[in-house]
Amino acid sequence: MTTFNAHDIAKAAKTAFQEAQLIPSSERVVALNEIRKSLEAHKAEIIRANEEDLREADVEVKAGKMSATLLKRLDLNRGDKWDSMLQGILDVAALPDPTGNVSYASELDDDLELYRVACPIGVLLVIFEARPEVVVNIASLAIKSGNAAILKGGKESNRTTTLLAKAISAGLLKTAIPELYIQAIQTRAEVSSLLELDQYIDLVIPRGSNSLVRNIQNNTRIPVMGHADGLCSVFVDEHADVTKAVRVVLDSKIDYPAACNASETLILHESVVYTIWPTVAKALLKANVKLLCDSVSLDALKQLSPKPSNFETLVSPSTPSSYDTEHLDLILSVIVLPSIQSAIQFINSHSSHHTDSIVTESDVAASTFCRGVDSAGTYVNASTRFADGFRYGFGTEVGISTGRIHARGPVGLDGLVTYKYMMKSKAPLGHIVGEFGTGKKQYKHKPLSAATVPFLDVLCTMYRDVKVTQALLDNLVGALRGLPILVLVTTAGSGAAIFLERPLVPGVTEGCEVSEETTIFLLRAVVLVVGNSSTSSSLMTSGTIAAFGRLPRLVLAIATSSSFVSSVSASDTGVLPLARVVRARGFFATPLEDESVSDSSPRVRPPTAVLQKLSAWIDVVARLPEH
């Protein structure tokens, strides 16, 4: 990628996204599994690169140029982080496909149907700091949701993110998903240039400080989904249970202090200052949490007897800025307020609208808090650390959105799709708006029950380097007998021959001209068997490829050599649709002919893997509805 400029990167991402739209969603699951295998195979070198990044970062920390918190986030081998990262891929793969789902369906008129359908956003530019596993998390979500992605991690993790991205590309190479579907960049200059390319990039997702988010919002025309600081708080209400208060406050702070969903502020109702607060404070000090207290909470702690041994070093007065600071460490700002209403007002004024929790036994207080606090997550008697896509059941997350439009809170698959409207007229003459109005036809607007769009069936599969023999053709024709499938064969010296197993509709018989789009669109599926490059040129000039490129149904193409792929890809004859299909496909390189037989007439023994794939393809065709 270092030889590409920003324009090349963005254009390649958009091209990859567009090419992938005709790839079945099942291939995305295949891609995720291949990526997981690739990451596991390259684990040793990735961890070595991560250790190098850690060593350099440690030098920066000791020099005062980097925070210790950032260093902790950088460690990919910490605890179960690596295993959790790989498990996250499987979790995402197992989630339902978020695309293709119908959220609105209406019959506008007889034989005129309208559908609102979930679809990918397009090309995502995701900018994040330090945590290298985010590369894998976001790549998984992007692939599953049908989006291409350009990823920019922090410079402190360049070695790690580079190798993670290479492993992801290696996994994609084994699938039909384009290799450049996921790309990683390294420099800020590339980011600045990419932010200008709104013709290619559809959404920017910055993960990091408020200053990072604001800087990006101010320097691009591309929509930005802000993932800002995590200024989370816990409010201990006057009706709180002391045991719950200790558990929730402690977990919210110490489970992982460097996380954006760790609490930074503890708000106490004035009635618990001398009852619950001392017990909570002792638990926090035992965990070595530094307490920045306002005057009321500090006075209460000064009355502790005996005082904890670390009281003098860990308890100190707060300042006004304490309540606007994301500590990302074992530090907690404490303030006492007179009521739940004042607590809500304080949170809405000082928080980053991420996640806030109340500890209370009062249903009225719980309802008031959850409705009044303007944050992406409002909890009752639960740790703020639950604000996480994995814990929500999203598999993983792009991050936490603190905005109010489109996606909010942990952003998983549902936050990475938008929708489009699809309409189809089944009337003999189609539909026109001029037929409706006063004194004319009226719209029915009759609700339809539909989970998916009935007329969408697309699957494209290609196999390469398969030897075309008469026995192979006989096998294909036999296997596809009885299905509405056209088999077009071009082999050396034979030109193009057409085999229709049965009439598809009245007027369509053997020998029809496949170059006519009206014929192509009547088919449920097409098998295209292509010979060497010398015969592929005659096929391309016939106009048939252009028709196939617009085919909204199933296509199985078998090419005998890579030269065909090269000739089609390099063609300037207006056959880009199929050229894109060719480049987007994964290829199977095992010949069908049994080369172990030495006589002059070798037997054809299709490998089991080929037969299994062909069988699966035929099963899909068999399930398609008739036209």
Residue with tokens 């019959």: 107
**Same domain, residue pair 13 and 147:** yes
Do residues 180 and 242 share a domain? no
Higher-confidence position of 461 and 452: 452
Does 413 fall in a domain? no
Return the CATH number at 342: 3.40.309.10
User: Do the bridges between strand 446-447 and strand 102-109 make them parallel or antiparallel, or are there none, so unpaired?
Assistant: antiparallel
pLDDT tens, 25-61? Answer: 888 998 999 999 999 999 999 999 999 999 998 998 8
Domain enclosing residue 537, as ranges: 459-623
Answer whether residue 28 is part of any domain.
yes
Distance (Å, whole) CA 542 – CA 489: 13
| Residue where a domain stops, chosen among 217, 245, 268 | 217
Angle at which helices 277-286 and 295-302 pack, to 10 degrees?
Answer: 80
Question: End-to-end CA distance of the chain, in Å?
Answer: 46
Res 106: pLDDT: 95
Same domain as 245, residue 212 = no
**Is residue 403 in a domain?**
no
Q: CA 513 to CA 535: how far, in whole Å? A: 18
pLDDT tens for each residue of 336-377: 999 999 999 999 999 888 999 999 999 999 999 999 999 989
464, 561 Cβ separation under 8 angstroms = yes
Residue 131: inside a domain? yes
Residues 169 and 261 in one domain: no
Q: Which of 334, 354, 384 is the last residue of a domain?
A: 384
pLDDT band at 4 (very low <50, low <70, confident <90, very high): low
Sign of CA dihedral 172, 178, 182, 188: positive
Model confidence band, residue 416 (pLDDT cutoffs 50, 70, 90)? very high
Angle separating helix axes 340-350 and 363-372, nearest 10 degrees: 30
Higher pLDDT, 435 or 581: 435
| 473-504 residue pLDDT tens | 455 445 544 444 444 433 332 323 333 232 22
Total domains in the chain come to: 3
Q: Compute φ and ψ for 372, nearest 5 degrees.
A: -90, -30
| Statement to judge: residues 334 and 365 lie in one domain | yes
Residue 168 and residue 274 in one domain: no
| d(C-alpha 343, C-alpha 365), whole Å | 11
Between the CA of residue 373 and those of 348, 367, 441, what are the distances in Å? 6, 10, 50
Domain assignment present for residue 45? The answer is yes
317 assigned to some structural domain: yes
pTM score, whole prediction: 0.65
CA–CA gap between residue 302 and residue 309 (Å, rounded): 13
Domain boundary, last residue among 349, 384, 419: 384
Residue 277 host element (H or E): helix 277-286
Assess whether 236 and 212 both reside in one domain: no
